[in-house]
A and B are shown apart, each in its own frame.
Chain A
Amino acid sequence: MASVEFANVRKSFGTHPVIKGVDIEIADGEFVILVGPSGCGKSTLLRMLAGLENISAGEIRIGGQVVNGLAPKERDIAMVFQNYALYPHMTVADNMAFSLTLKGASKAEIDKRVKPAAEILGLTHLLDRFPRQLSGGQRQRVAMGRAIVRDPQVFLFDEPLSNLDAKLRVAMRAEIKELHQRLKTTTVYVTHDQIEAMTMADKIVVMHDGIVEQIGAPLELYDQPANLFVASFIGSPAMNMIKGTLDQDSNLKFKTNNGIELPVAKAPESAKGRALIYGLRPEHMTIAAGGIPAEVVVIEPTGSETQMIMRVGGDLVTGVFHQRINAKPGETVGLSIHAEATYLFDAETGKRLV
């Protein structure tokens, strides 16, 4: 196990920069998830850590040692690939034992390492099968088994669940998290799925366009997003963003561009007189008589909660309610907004002000 450090890491393909100066510190034993939309550079960063891409500038350290010039095999890391990258011509057992076989380990030693790993992952009865004869979830487990057998300094996961169906994904999510709790190996995990990031990580790194937007614990990112990008990326359904300005007379009112007044808990001096974006999470509102009038556009009951898309002024607002609602599209309901849970962002820079 080891800590991992990225210090001002950069990467360009030709003249095209894809990683534009990234600093991340990962403590020993931490489960860190790099999350961001496609093309944000998260996979490239992971591959640089693995040694599969070279580093244009900056330093990557594993356990305090600079690994920039080290070949992948010298870094003592194990990686689980998106397509699993199982050796198709080897049995499950041989796949898991491959790194040991290369080192010339004895049969007894291989058994001693492979058997417990297979047991942890429930693969014992599949050890003689070939990858083609396994289901997606089983292949996923073999790929993890291959990593576990290595007992590496760092585990890397590159979108490991994106080839699985929704139900299996949820199950594997729990399994990977449990595995980390058991092995306590430093883990760097890449995904574009913010739910995966929220549910599994000790620490999330939100990336966008080659830079780190924010680093923090899952709920920290959820409660205190640094900017518009993080606010819109974390949370599902996404945060409502409404354009407008603070009311001239009362600082505790937000006036949307469509002329609707929304409540604000507090507003700093800097927010006055500039174009703002009002951020409101879908769950921070309730239906109340006498609230802000909202026209129901779509109503989606899911059983445990009800999602509603409403038109407030000219803006579409999504709400999630834990009560059953008997409204029909076209009807008007009253919306009560929890003022203390709202955010204000600078429309120009995207930075959060409140």
Chain B
Amino acid sequence: MTATTKPPSALVALTRNNTFLGFMFLLPAAVFLLCFLTYPLGLGVWLGFTDAKIGRDGVFIGLDNYKALASDSVFWMAVYNTVLYTFIASVLKFGLGLWLALILNENLPFKSFFRAIILLPWVVPTVLSALAFWWIYDAQFSILSWSLIKLGLIDTPINFLGDPNNARASVIAANVWRGIPFVAISLLAGLQTIPQSLHEAASLDGATGWQRFRFITLPMLTPIIAVVMTFSVLFTFTDFQLIYVLTKGGPVNATHLMATLSFQRGIPGGQLGEGAAIAVAMIPFLLASILFSFFGLQRRKWQQGGQD
């Protein structure tokens, strides 16, 4: 053995440094996020402050785009539509999804078959199901109108997508149809984490079916409901495909959502700056929704401390 041991080289020392190693492991994900999330988001925000048009770089014009939007009735219509669309669709998706989840949690015959079927609207590409709805809502060939006429309930076909309120109801119905599986399957997963013995204990304690739901199922499901509904609200608020295929925002902008209006103005309309400003205007709403989820996701007092 010699008395001199060589000091480790700088490279070896670095690889033994946990902070450096951690940074290196983080780097690929960080680069990915910077390129594909931060850059487009930043670019969008920047464009909102410019008068960029397609084929021409914009110059900074401050809040002019937003000032114009503030007095633009079509924009406010889109805001109203988006809030209405999100609210009604989310409430319906929650109610129907929870109901479906409760049914699927019972011991039904062909349980797994039904559970698989439920997922269908979710796995079909949106554009495809939107096209199907387009035919269902067709002014002349609608199967709904045809059925109702044959049943003798109405005389003339319903103008599903031609009348503003009909059109709003129709796109909401399509969105609910598409969104239910996500809510139902997620809540079903939540229901299955509630131990059977709690229901048994409650029924021995004298609880009726409704009381078991009210005092056991619902409180224990709230953390999952908060997550699921936050996601559901985010998906609904930013919906684009369904509207774009079904109505393209018509009739007379009655079904324009902020996302479709932003695209409409920015790409076919060529007003990149204005389109971006509309998209940026969605951020406060989405932020509110995320805050809601942040508080909803916080561990409740009964979930804290100890293990099960």
Contact = CB atoms under 8 A, between A and B. Distances in A.
A and B: partners? yes
A72 interface: yes
B268 interface: no
B207 A102 contact: yes
Interface string B164-205: 000000000000000000000000000000010110111111
Pairs A-B, 3 closest by C-beta atoms: A85-B197, A99-B205, A85-B201
Given A81-B201, A85-B201, A98-B205, 4 more contacts: A51-B204, A52-B204, A87-B198, A133-B304
A73 B301 contact: no
A78 B204 contact: yes
Interface residues of B, number: 26
B72 interface: no
Contact of B211 (A85, A90, A102, A133): A102
A130 B301 contact: yes
A88 B305 CA distance: 12
B300 interface: yes
A89 B207 contact: no
25 contacts: A51-B204, A52-B200, A52-B204, A73-B204, A73-B208, A77-B204, A78-B204, A79-B204, A81-B197, A81-B200, A81-B201, A85-B198, A87-B198, A87-B215, A87-B216, A88-B220, A88-B302, A89-B220, A98-B207, A102-B205, A131-B302, A132-B303, A132-B307, A134-B306, A146-B201
Q: In this complex, which of B215, B303, B304 has the most chain A Cβ atoms within 10 angstroms of its Cβ?
A: B215
A50 interface: yes
B287 to A, nearest CB: 29
Contacts of B201: 79, 81, 85, 87, 146
Interface of A: 50-52, 71-73, 77-79, 81, 83, 85, 87-90, 98-99, 102-103, 130-134, 146, 150
B302 A73 contact: no
A95 to B, nearest CB: 9
A83 B197 contact: yes
Contacts of B305: 130, 132-133
B208 to A, nearest CB: 8
A38 to B, nearest CB: 18
B205 A150 contact: yes
B106 interface: no
Contacts of B307: 132
Per DSSP, chain B at the interface is helix
A73 B306 contact: no
B219 interface: yes
A102 B203 CA distance: 11
A35 B207 CA distance: 30
Nearest to A143: B201
B300 A89 contact: yes
B226 to A, nearest CB: 14
A348 B307 CA distance: 50
B8 to A, nearest CB: 48
B207 A73 contact: yes
Contacts of B216: 87
A72 B209 CA distance: 12
Contacts of A150: 205
A308 B8 CA distance: 61
Q: In this complex, which of B203, B208, B302, B307 has the most chain A Cβ atoms within 10 angstroms of its Cβ?
A: B302
Interface string B211-255: 100011001100000000000000000000000000000000000
A102 B201 CA distance: 13
Contacts of A77: 204
B200 A89 contact: no
B302 A130 contact: yes
B219 A133 contact: no
Contacts of B300: 89
Contacts of A78: 204
B206 A103 contact: yes
A79 B198 CA distance: 11
Contacts of A72: 200, 203-204
Interface in B248-303: 300-303
B206 A132 contact: no
A210 to B, nearest CB: 22
B154 to A, nearest CB: 47
Nearest to A149: B205
A78 B204 CA distance: 7
Contacts of A81: 197, 200-201
Contacts of A132: 302-308
A146 B302 contact: no
A90 B204 contact: no
A85 B207 CA distance: 15
Nearest to B306: A132
Contacts of B202: 87, 98
Given A83-B197, A132-B308, A71 B203 contact: yes
A99 B308 contact: no
B106 to A, nearest CB: 16
Nearest to A88: B302
Q: In this complex, which of B206, B211, B304, B308 has the most chain A Cβ atoms within 10 angstroms of its Cβ?
A: B206
